[in-house]
């Protein structure tokens, strides 16, 4: 099983019980407990930024507490950290599929997963638009669809 790079929406759903997808994220995470999962600087920064923003999260905490929570998550044995050493211009990043500015980070995370031989796991269905059915990136994208 390949390493799963968790999008920030999955990290937030795991961390915050009030998140609409908390139960689904926890079920998915438990069913993959023996597999490795990854974060990167982008997903970690986004987690801290959103977790400490009361306009987005009702139970927002201060950034130091968000960092402490992230440390607890990332101290789990099956966590790996992926550096952002892959340039956005790298062939692994499907830049040719970008149609708007909101897709840049998703394309980068998809390319990062490709570079490290993993997969990108997200709740964001719009990421599928970056990956045509005949694209090799199709195999490295997992969009979680709560039932």
Residue 8, pLDDT > 90, answer yes
Per DSSP, what are the bridge partners of residue 142? Answer: 121
pLDDT on residue 112: 95
Q: Is residue 101 a part of any domain in this protein?
A: yes
Six-digit token pair at 146?
Answer: 């709560």
- CA 121 – CA 141 distance, rounded (Å): 6
Range of the domain at 121: 4-43+73-143
Confidence of residue 146 (pLDDT cuts 50, 70, 90): confident
Q: What is the pLDDT of residue 124?
A: 95
* Residue 84 covered by a domain: yes
Q: Full-prediction pTM beyond 0.85? A: yes
In a domain, 125, yes or no: yes
58 found inside a domain: no
**Residue 19 maps to a domain:** yes
pLDDT confidence of residue 37 = 98
Q: Is the pLDDT of residue 102 over 90?
A: no
d(CA 25, CA 47): 15
pLDDT value of residue 91: 82
50 lies in some domain: no
The total of structural domains in the chain comes to 1
Of the chain, the end-to-end C-alpha distance in Å amounts to: 24
Predicted local distance difference test score (pLDDT) of residue 131: 84
For residue 53, tell me if it sits in a domain: no
b/e string for 116-142 if b means 16 or more Cβ within 10 A? bebbbbbbbeebeebbeeeeebeebbb
List Cβ neighbours of 64 (8 Å cut-off, separation of 6 or more). Answer: none
Q: Is residue 80 part of a domain?
A: yes
Nearest to 62 by CA among 53, 71, 72, 52: 52
Question: Is the pLDDT score of 1 beyond 80?
Answer: no
pLDDT digits (tens, 9 = 90+) for 34-92: 999 999 999 999 999 999 999 998 899 999 999 999 999 999 989 999 999 898 888 87
Give the closest residue to 38 by CA, choosing from 94, 119, 108, 103. 119
Average pLDDT, the chain: 92
pLDDT for res 137: 78
Domain harbouring 13, CATH code: 3.40.50.1010
């Amino acid at each position: 099983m390949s390493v799963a790079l968790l999008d920030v929406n999955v990290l937030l759903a795991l961390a915050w019980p009030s998140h609409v997808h908390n139960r689904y994220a926890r079920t998915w995470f438990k069913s993959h407990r023996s597999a490795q999962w990854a974060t990167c600087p982008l997903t970690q920064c986004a987690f801290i930024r959103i977790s400490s923003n009361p306009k987005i999260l009702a139970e927002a905490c201060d950034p130091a507490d968000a960092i402490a929570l992230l440390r607890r998550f990332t101290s789990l044995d099956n966590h790996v950290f992926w550096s952002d050493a892959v340039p956005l211009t790298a062939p692994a990043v499907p830049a040719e599929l970008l149609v708007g500015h909101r897709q840049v980070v998703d394309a980068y995370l998809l390319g990062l997963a490709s570079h490290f031989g993993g997969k990108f796991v997200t709740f964001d269905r719009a990421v599928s638009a970056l990956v045509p059915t005949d694209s090799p990136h199709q195999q490295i994208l997992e969009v979680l669809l709560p039932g």
